[in-house]
Amino acid sequence: MSSYDLLVVGSGLFGAIIAHEARAEGKTVLVVEKRDHIGGNCYTEEVDGIHVHKYGAHIFRTSDKSIWEYVEQFCEFNNFVNSPVANYKGELYNMPFNMNTFHALWGVVTPDEARAKIEEQRVACENPRNLEEHVLSLVGRDVYEKLVKGYTEKQWGKPCTELPPSIMRRIPLRMIYDNNYFNDRYQGIPIGGYTAVLEKMLEGCEVRLSTDYLADKEALDALASQVVYTGTLDSYFDYRFGPLEYRSLRFEHERLDVENYQGVAVMNFNDRETPYTRIIEHKHFEFGTQPTTVISREYPQEWTVGIEPFYPMEDAENRARFERYRELAEGEEKVRFGGRLGEYRYYDMQDTVKSALAKYAAWFGGNGVR
């Protein structure tokens, strides 16, 4: 006899929602998590009263009211609006590319002047063979050289001339003076940090930290009648067809005895020479007034098995490999797969919420997004 109705592997957003939905239906749930804390990549750690986003900046946003309201069951959101600043060798530009950016670049004032300047700079190219040709044909030399080239090359570890145009199919140019990075209707940061949200989701579940499911699979499987696995798909099948590749990040966190280090939550460093792509100053996500601050420098890095996987490599080889793993996964009787690692997809949090609710409904009944 199984002791639990459901075993959830991974306490990130996907696993926590599956666990919550199961508990809400009266099921008994065991959650195992290989890290020493819950929350997956949404985890925030409190330092001097500041919620530090340990795995990169997390800003919740959606235009789907049902998703926003679903998450609001677990927290109240503040009114943070992401307005990052791009730093190119000490020159500061607003993001996303909008009239403030164009004014700082060229002194233009009206949208017509900005459009004319972009048109003058564009390098026509009908069939761009690489990212450089593609971006030059869309936005011209200044935006490409100062705001796209260095940042993208650091992010992907390759020159833009060796990157495919598909990395940036569209470059939104906003012809109004508006620095809000996102177009979504709802946006904010949970007051009290993300970890508190995940804790609430997991209420009523037994959670075992520092427990690697794959290291003790047989014994853990025996404890529950159903399993939902949110770890990497290739590791579940012991990398039988080779690893599904990722791009990774390394974070350097620093606590500083200053009240305000950079005056904004997210500053991008768009030149090629600065080794990091961004500095996050966490207190600004929550309008913090603490006397100290915590910053995190974000360094893109190569990925190999064993290093934290962040961004799936969206190329044909990895997609084909994923399909082979997916077929194997479909053959599993007791274990179901989901989340950004189980599905080998980049999922924003809103996509994760939507996917978890839809999958819960498909697997165990229920209504999906409510």
Q: Is 23 in the site for ligand FDA (CB under 6 A)?
A: no
The smaller minimum CB distance to ligand FDA, of residues 41 and 318, is found at 41
Marked catalytic residue, from 23, 61, 278, 336? 278
**Binding ligand FDA by CB under 6 A: which of 352, 354, 357, 359?**
352
> Angle 317-362-332 (CA atoms, 0-180°, nearest 5)?
55
Identity of residue 238: D
Q: Quote the radius of gyration of the chain (alpha carbons, Å).
A: 22
Taking alpha carbons only, the member of 266, 259, 275, 263 closest to residue 296 is 266
Q: Is 340 in the site for ligand FDA (CB under 6 A)?
A: yes
**Binding ligand FDA by CB under 6 A: which of 21, 40, 279, 359?**
40
**H-only helix segments in the chain:** 13-24, 65-72, 99-106, 111-121, 131-139, 141-143, 150-156, 194-201, 217-221, 233-236, 316-330, 339-342, 349-364
Dihedral angle, C-alpha 59, 63, 86, 283, nearest 10 °? -30
**What is the x/- site pattern for ligand FDA, positions 214-243, by CB under 6 A?**
x---------------xx------------
Q: Is 357 in the site for ligand FDA (CB under 6 A)?
A: no
Marked catalytic residue, from 35, 115, 247, 326? 247
Cβ at position 239, least distance to ligand FDA in Å: 13
C-alpha–C-alpha distance, residues 339 and 10, integer Å: 9
Q: Is 195 in the site for ligand FDA (CB under 6 A)?
A: no
C-alpha–C-alpha distance, residues 259 and 282, integer Å: 12
Taking alpha carbons only, the member of 357, 14, 23, 8 closest to residue 207 is 8
The conformational region for residue 185 under phi > 0 = left, psi -120 to 50 = alpha, else beta, is: alpha
**Residue 254 burial (CB count, 10 A):** 11
Cβ at position 302, least distance to ligand FDA in Å: 15
Q: Is 59 in the site for ligand FDA (CB under 6 A)?
A: yes
The smaller minimum CB distance to ligand FDA, of residues 59 and 227, is found at 59
Cβ at position 133, least distance to ligand FDA in Å: 28
**Piece of the chain touching ligand FDA by CB under 6 A; list 96-104, 131-139, 202-210, 349-357:** 349-357
C-alpha–C-alpha distance, residues 32 and 7, integer Å: 8
Q: Which two tokens stand for residue 79?
A: 């009114």
Marked catalytic residue, from 23, 61, 174, 336? 174
**Piece of the chain touching ligand FDA by CB under 6 A; list 67-75, 135-143, 329-337, 346-354:** 346-354
Q: Is 10 in the site for ligand FDA (CB under 6 A)?
A: yes
| 247 flagged as catalytic | yes
C-alpha–C-alpha distance, residues 304 and 248, integer Å: 9
**Piece of the chain touching ligand FDA by CB under 6 A; list 71-79, 105-113, 130-138, 342-350:** 342-350
- The residues of the shown chain that bind ligand FDA, judged by CB under 6 A, are 9-15, 32-35, 40-42, 56-60, 212-214, 230-231, 249, 310, 339-341, 347-350, 352
Active site residues: 170, 174, 247, 278, 298, 346, 348
